[in-house]
Amino acid sequence: MSLPFTIADVFTDQPLAGNQLAVFLDAGDIDERLLQPIAREIGFSETVFVLPGDVIRIFTPSVELPFAGHPVLGTAFVLASQRGAGLVKLQTGRGEVPVVFEGANGRRGRMSQPLPAVSPWTGDHDELFGALGVDGSLQPVDQYDNGPRYLYVVVADDEAVSSLAPDLGRLANAIGMAGVSCAAGRGTEWKCRMFAPGLGVAEDPATGSAAGPLAVHLCRHGLVPWGTEITITQGVELRRPSTLYATAHGDDDRLVAVEVAGDTVVIGRGSLEL
């Protein structure tokens, strides 16, 4: 059986940057038992299988995720390019996610993400900070769940983010099946790195599902005004520079909407012969 796929670089307007994504269109006939092994074979942070009705299934090399940002954005771009459409609505494990394409070249997609559930993280903070190699967080370590779960550690400056060298085994034991996003910045410019060893992703070049909650986190703790779009730089240390745009709409009493935007470039096509 020949299984065609498309490779896209997401959260970049340049080939060979951003976060890699493999998209298998018309995947309804692929044996269910092959989905996780195919994602493991591809080896990207995520691989997407598109089923009838624009239902998508998202796999890391280790687990299936109900929602993830760069797979939604990249898959929507592949479908929009194929159809000549300006809007694609994908059906994820966390509900429908609309993606609108804008800009002169139509590469920039803006998704309305599932609203995250927010709670204080009750794990061992000393073990988390020790695994990351940091003294602590400048803001509370909160947990956000929009399909995947993320913790947020805010450090002093960009250099502190760049110099992170976490003990990934210790980190996996500390946070389990979650990711941790370490961020620094001020105003609308932020830098982050995201580690999720328990999900099979040691470090992610660009994490759209973590970008939206990062905007929420910064607004909740008074670092960014509600409704302000922030620019997030990620992936530089992996030589996959990525740019993400995120906005949290609402106020301190009520979160109304979370938007994440970015560009996508299709860089290749191929097939698996199984």
Phi-psi region of 120 (alpha: psi -120 to 50; beta: other; left: phi over 0): beta
Other C-beta atoms lying within 10 Å of the C-beta of residue 194: 24
CA distance 116 to 122: 17
Active site residue 203: no
| Choice among 32, 41, 46, 259 that is catalytic | 46
Strand partners, 244: 232
Best CA proximity match to 144, nearest among 124, 120, 170, 174? 120
Q: Which two tokens stand for residue 79?
A: 């479908």
Q: Which long-range CB contacts under 8 A does 252-256 form with residues at least 24 apart?
A: 252/220, 252/226, 255/115, 255/116, 255/118, 255/216
- State the Cα–Cα distance between residues 249 and 80, nearest whole angstrom: 26
Catalytic residues: 46
